[in-house]
Amino acid sequence: MINILTTHWSDFVHGFGITLLASIIALIISMILGTGFAILEVLPNKFVNLVARIYIEIFRNIPLLVVTMFFYVVVTQFIKMNGLVAGTIGLSLYTSAFIAETVRAGILSVDKGQMEGARANGLTYWQAMRIIILPQAFKIVIPPLGNQFINLVKNSSILAFVAGFDLMYQGNEIASTTFDTIDTYILVGVFYLIITLPLSYYMRYLEHKLA
């Protein structure tokens, strides 16, 4: 195991960097999209609610691999992009649907009187949502959001299927050349833990701090 790590250290580090980069970008995009569609779901407008619901149901109920391959195989026929970009887009859209449902649940758990009080004090709907409702909603849904963030990092291994040169892709390449699959994938798992464990503990700390 040590021999594989030292011999292919640069490959592991490169894959780790790509995984981290794709995860951060996908996290930012999915948070923005997910929060936006969560708000659209609770707006007093049935057409907007329907649009948001269709988006969420599509990406929640199609496998991540299918979503990613759609961008890598179909969309690239019209727009030039590499596997990393296609995989990150697919990961972002897929995760955003789950984040939207999580944030929506948080918004609905905030007492309706909060919105009514904010509107009575002269705030617009969007001001009340941004200043009053969303901060409380995010505080409530920190645990499930943390789970979604960790799932996102693990799901980033989908990049290996579209030549995204991520950690899993590098692990596959190393395993195919060394034929030492057990040690290689143990090392890949350790590198994933380097990302997910600190993230898990941080979300737990944040939950206790804001409790």
- What is d(CA 118, CA 113) in angstroms, rounded to the nearest whole number? 8
> Cα 91 to the chain's mean position, in Å?
7
The dihedral sign for the CA sequence 124, 128, 131, 134: negative
pLDDT score of 145: 93
- What is d(CA 48, CA 6) in angstroms, rounded to the nearest whole number? 54
Do the Cβ atoms of 179 and 50 come closer than 8 Å? no
Instruction: Count the neighbouring beta carbons within 10 Å of the beta carbon of residue 161.
Output: 17
Its domain, for residue 189, covers: 2-210
CATH code for the domain in which residue 153 is found: 1.10.3720.10
What are the 10-residue block averages of pLDDT along the chain, 211 residues in total?
87 95 96 96 93 96 96 93 94 97 94 88 90 92 92 95 91 91 94 94 86 69
Give CA separation, 26 vs 52, 85, 200, in Å. Answer: 19, 10, 17
pLDDT score of 108: 93
SS3 content of the chain, % helix, strand, coil (to 5): 90, 0, 10
Do the Cβ atoms of 163 and 72 come closer than 8 Å? no
Domains in the chain, number: 1
pLDDT score of 97: 97
